Amino acid sequence: MATSCPADLDTVRLRTEISTIYARVAADPTGDFHFHRGPAYAAELLGYDAAELAGLPADSTASFAGVANPLAVAPLETGATVVDIGCGAGMDLMLAARRVGDAGIAIGIDMTPAMIERARESARIAKLDHVEIRLGDAQALPLENASVDVVISNGVLNLTTDKVEAFSEIMRVLKPGGRLQLGDIAVESELSEGIRRDVDLWTG
């Protein structure tokens, strides 16, 4: 099973294309995209609590484009430090922040400045002062070693160009006994070289 993209794939172009698409989602979440978005989708198909989502700023939920519900994997403990890799506009991040409470820390990491701006504004509106949002990359997390209790991620790691590197970064930042709560896309069989070289297929 391949764990990285082909050596000759233009990874700079790939990252730019991914960031451009999600900047468009941040600007206009009702636009024409190939993937589902929004709180109704999250509640109806992924099992989120609709009432809980209604209590979040609309900008954070409208741009949600996750593929699962990583917060359903296990409860988050009060006072924990949680990191959301690829936090987007911050829906999962703010739900996590409410679960860990003011004694905890919820850190969002995203590579798209437009999404970071939305997440920061939503955290401000929600008065979640223990939320931090950082510009960063799943393959080079802007975090100290062994500093995190729980890593969550929702539909993001499949877009990384080197899965071994991405998971190594998660292991680096987790404390001993820490855990990963992951929701993502998997394929039943290995993709061909031609598919893995097609940037348009990576980005949809």
* Neighbouring C-alpha atoms within 13 Å toward the C-beta of 74: 14
Q: Residue 49 has what DSSP assignment?
A: -
pLDDT 10s digits, 94-135: 999 999 999 999 999 999 999 999 999 999 999 999 999 999
Q: For the ranges 70-74, 97-101, 199-203, which has the lowest average pLDDT?
A: 199-203
pLDDT tens digit sequence for 153-171:
999 998 898 999 999 999 9
Q: What's the average model confidence in pLDDT over 46-75?
A: 96
Dist CA 161 CA 6 (whole Å): 9
3-state secondary structure of 90: coil
Give me the residue label for tokens 């993209």. Answer: 5
> Which pTM value belongs to this model?
0.88
Residue with tokens 């978005």: 37
pLDDT at 195: 57
pLDDT-based confidence at 186, cuts 50/70/90?
Answer: confident
77-90 residue pLDDT tens: 999 999 999 999 99
Q: What's the confidence (pLDDT) of residue 78? A: 98
Residue showing tokens 């949600």: 64
Ranges assigned E (strand) in the chain: 81-85, 105-110, 131-135, 148-154, 174-183
Q: Which fold has domain 11-203?
A: Rossmann fold (3.40.50)
pLDDT of res. 22: 78
Instruction: State the DSSP H helix or E strand holding residue 85, giving kind and residue range, or none if neither.
Output: strand 81-85
The set of residues, in sequence order, having a beta carbon less than 8 Å from that of 82 and lying 6+ positions away, is: 76, 96, 97, 100, 104, 105, 106, 107, 148, 149, 150, 151, 152
For residue 194, the model assigns a pLDDT of 64
Three-class secondary structure of residue 153 per DSSP = strand
> What confidence category does residue 4 fall into, taking pLDDT thresholds of 50, 70 and 90?
low
Each residue's pLDDT tens digit, 20-60: 887 788 888 888 877 889 999 999 999 999 999 999 999 99
Look at residue 123 in the predicted model and tell me its pLDDT: 97
pLDDT tops 70 at residue 204:
no
